[in-house]
């Protein structure tokens, strides 16, 4: 098969596919040129991440397409039902980036509770002249241990995140529409293992009791965290979104931060990507990253291999 990895694929994945006789084209083709390129090169498989959109229009134009592969969890950039109606298989890699996303969430949390983002910005500018003042400014951080970590969306990523939170000595409360209970297995470097049973609760409990909330749900038609939900949170709490832009009402979030109704927030995704508004970029209580939740060396390798293995099974 001719495989176009339009948003890239790890070398491990390429090696596995080429070893089994497939041709992998690693080229980023512009969206408007994609259909013509695929037809000219008789592409049978299109691999994407979040940048390339595989909509009905593209699916209708491409002649030889048999499989669409998404390197990641969500499929909101693919018209899945239309693809399936055309006999095109759609695959993704829901487990490959769980560890990476969970790490990033914890990083954003520490930026919030220990002021790491602001301290890192100000130390190069004022560290030499105002060391004592900076020390005083950032000496009121809080610890993770003993706090409550709320998780909205308790699938693979949410459960992986729960392991991190438990390891930090935090209580975990979670909400999920479809999961009533999850078994969280903590495996340590020496082979020891501890199991935790976590029963999910209602969303309001997560919102009102948590010291930090992390969102792990698919793309929504409208925000699930807006003015009402933010007002129910503790004013000392923080909220982190590494799932999809638009899940948090950004206007309401900025207002809550500015009015000290919320201590901090962390965003890896935005309503308007790739041009987040300046009011978000410049807010001192926001820890920001450019949609890199699953973008680690290890995750990219796992994603490439997992996609390749699924394609080999199909073929």
In this model, does residue 315 exceed pLDDT 80?
Answer: no
CA distances from 33 to 55, 62, 79, 81 (A): 14, 11, 18, 23
- Domain range 98-288, CATH architecture: 3-Layer(aba) Sandwich (3.40)
Which residue, 16, 47, 21, is CA-closest to 34? 47
In this model, does residue 153 exceed pLDDT 80?
Answer: yes
Catalytic residue among 60, 81, 185, 273: 273
Whether 309 sits among the annotated catalytic residues: the reply is no
What is the mean predicted confidence (pLDDT) over 225-233?
A: 98
In this model, does residue 73 exceed pLDDT 90?
Answer: no
Domain boundary assignment for the chain: 2-94+297-314, 98-288
What pLDDT, in 10s, does the model give residues 163-181? Answer: 999 999 999 999 999 999 9
In this model, does residue 91 exceed pLDDT 90?
Answer: yes
What is the mean predicted confidence (pLDDT) over 12-39?
A: 96
Catalytic residue among 22, 291, 302, 306: 291
Catalytic residue among 44, 244, 250, 302: 244
- Band the pLDDT of 76: cuts 50, 70, 90: confident
- pLDDT on residue 219: 87
Instruction: Please say whether the beta carbons of 79 and 58 come within 8 A.
Output: no
- Band the pLDDT of 74: cuts 50, 70, 90: confident
In which order are the strands placed within the sheet that holds 286-288?
171-175, 148-152, 212-215, 238-241, 264-267, 286-288
What is the mean predicted confidence (pLDDT) over 36-65?
A: 96
- pLDDT on residue 69: 97
Distance CA 81, CA 88 (A): 9
- pLDDT on residue 93: 93
- Band the pLDDT of 95: cuts 50, 70, 90: confident
- pLDDT on residue 189: 95
What is the mean predicted confidence (pLDDT) over 227-232?
A: 98
- pLDDT on residue 296: 94
What pLDDT, in 10s, does the model give residues 206-220? Answer: 999 999 999 999 889
Report the DSSP beta bridge partners of residue 90: 68
Whether 121 sits among the annotated catalytic residues: the reply is no
What is the mean predicted confidence (pLDDT) over 293-309?
A: 94
Q: Which helix (H) or strand (E) holds 56?
A: helix 56-61
Which residue, 221, 218, 291, 279, is CA-closest to 254? 279
Where do we find the tokens 């397409």? 65
What pLDDT, in 10s, does the model give residues 114-150? Answer: 999 999 999 999 999 999 999 999 999 999 999 999 9
Distance CA 301, CA 91 (A): 17
Residue 15 neighbours by CB under 8 Å, 6+ apart: none
Distance CA 154, CA 201 (A): 11
In this model, does residue 253 exceed pLDDT 90?
Answer: yes
- Band the pLDDT of 8: cuts 50, 70, 90: very high
Instruction: Please say whether the beta carbons of 285 and 265 come within 8 A.
Output: yes
Distance CA 154, CA 174 (A): 6
Question: 2-94+297-314 belongs to which CATH class?
Answer: alpha beta
What mean pLDDT, rounded, does the chain reach? 96
Alpha helices in 152-226 (DSSP H): 156-167, 203-209
Distance CA 281, CA 270 (A): 11
Query: pTM of this prediction?
Result: 0.89
Q: What is the DSSP letter of 225?
A: B
In this model, does residue 280 exceed pLDDT 80?
Answer: yes
- pLDDT on residue 41: 96
Q: What is the DSSP letter of 31?
A: G
In this model, does residue 109 exceed pLDDT 80?
Answer: yes
Distance CA 256, CA 112 (A): 15
What is the mean predicted confidence (pLDDT) over 303-309?
A: 95
Whether 273 sits among the annotated catalytic residues: the reply is yes
- Rg over alpha carbons for the chain, rounded to the nearest Å, is 22
In this model, does residue 307 exceed pLDDT 90?
Answer: yes
Which residue, 232, 237, 265, is CA-closest to 251? 265
In this model, does residue 42 exceed pLDDT 90?
Answer: yes
Distance CA 159, CA 81 (A): 28
């Amino acid at each position: 098969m001719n495989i176009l990895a339009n948003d890239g694929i790890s070398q491990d994945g390429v090696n596995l596919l080429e070893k089994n006789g497939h041709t992998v084209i690693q080229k980023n083709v512009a969206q408007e040129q994609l259909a013509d390129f695929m037809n000219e090169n008789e592409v049978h498989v299109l691999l994407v991440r979040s940048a390339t959109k595989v909509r009905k229009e593209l699916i209708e134009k491409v002649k030889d397409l048999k499989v669409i592969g998404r390197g990641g969890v969500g499929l909101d950039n693919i018209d899945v039902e239309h693809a399936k109606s055309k006999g095109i298989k759609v695959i993704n890699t829901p487990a490959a980036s769980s560890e990476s996303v969970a790490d990033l969430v914890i990083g954003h949390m520490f930026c919030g509770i220990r002021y790491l983002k602001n301290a890192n910005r100000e130390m190069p500018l004022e560290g030499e002249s105002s060391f004592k003042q900076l020390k005083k400014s950032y000496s009121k951080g809080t610890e993770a241990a003993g706090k409550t970590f709320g998780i909205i969306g308790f699938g693979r990523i949410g459960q992986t995140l729960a392991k991190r939170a438990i390891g930090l000595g935090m209580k975990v409360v979670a909400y999920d529409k479809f999961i009533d209970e999850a078994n969280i297995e903590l495996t340590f470097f020496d082979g020891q293992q501890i199991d935790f049973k976590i029963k999910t609760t209602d969303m309001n409990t997560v919102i009102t009791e948590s010291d930090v909330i992390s969102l792990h749900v698919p793309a929504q038609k409208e925000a699930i965290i807006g003015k009402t939900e933010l007002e129910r949170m503790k004013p000392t709490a923080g909220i982190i979104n590494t799932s999809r832009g638009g899940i948090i009402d950004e206007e309401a979030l900025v207002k809550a931060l500015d009015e000290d109704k919320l201590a901090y927030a962390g965003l890896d995704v935005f309503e308007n990507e790739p041009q987040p508004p300046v009011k978000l970029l410049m807010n001192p209580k926001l820890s920001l990253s450019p949609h890199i939740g699953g973008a680690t060396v290890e995750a990219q390798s796992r994603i490439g291999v997992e996609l390749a293995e699924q394609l080999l099974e199909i073929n």
